[in-house]
Amino acid sequence: MMRTVFLAFFSLGLVLSTSGCTDFVELNQLAFIIGTAIDYAEDGQIEVSQQIVVPSKKQDPSKGEGFSSFFVMSAKGKDVFHATQKIQLRMSRKLMANHRMIIAISEEYCNKDDVRKLFDKLIRDPAN
């Protein structure tokens, strides 16, 4: 009898402690990347600029107001991911790149570098 009660409470405690959502992110903790621009910078680095919108700053669309919280952040790095990590470190919100609408690549970057490598990296990135 005592063993059955102990097993029931142990099972109940195990089920309650493992059924919680631990990686849930609220909408007000996200920043959505709408557009990305890639260009060469000095010293052979790449400059990445990202246009970001914060959804919690959305205005009322019924009054003719749209998103007012677009801003652009830029960083330089040895590749696109290094520069994006620098931008993420300066942001208090988690960057979401899966809503990106446009990637603008400068002509200089296309002429000097192999763009296939860039798209290969972007396609393999699970955040995209």
Residue 33 falls inside a structural domain: yes
Q: pLDDT by residue (tens digit) across 88-109?
A: 999 988 888 888 889 999 988 8
Residue 5 falls inside a structural domain: no
Q: pLDDT by residue (tens digit) across 28-75?
A: 788 889 999 999 888 888 999 999 987 755 555 566 555 557 889 999
Classify 43 as helix, strand or coil.
helix
pTM, rounded to two decimals: 0.69
Residue 7 falls inside a structural domain: no
Residue 85 falls inside a structural domain: yes
Domain that residue 76 falls in: 27-124
Q: Can you name the residues that pair with 84 across neighbouring β-strands?
A: none
Number of domains in the chain: 1
Residue 82 falls inside a structural domain: yes
Task: Report the C-alpha gap between 116 and 57 in whole angstroms.
Answer: 36
Residue 96 falls inside a structural domain: yes
Residue 110 falls inside a structural domain: yes
CB burial readout 16-43, b (16+ within 10 A) else e? eeeeeeeeeeeeeebbbbbbbbbbbeee
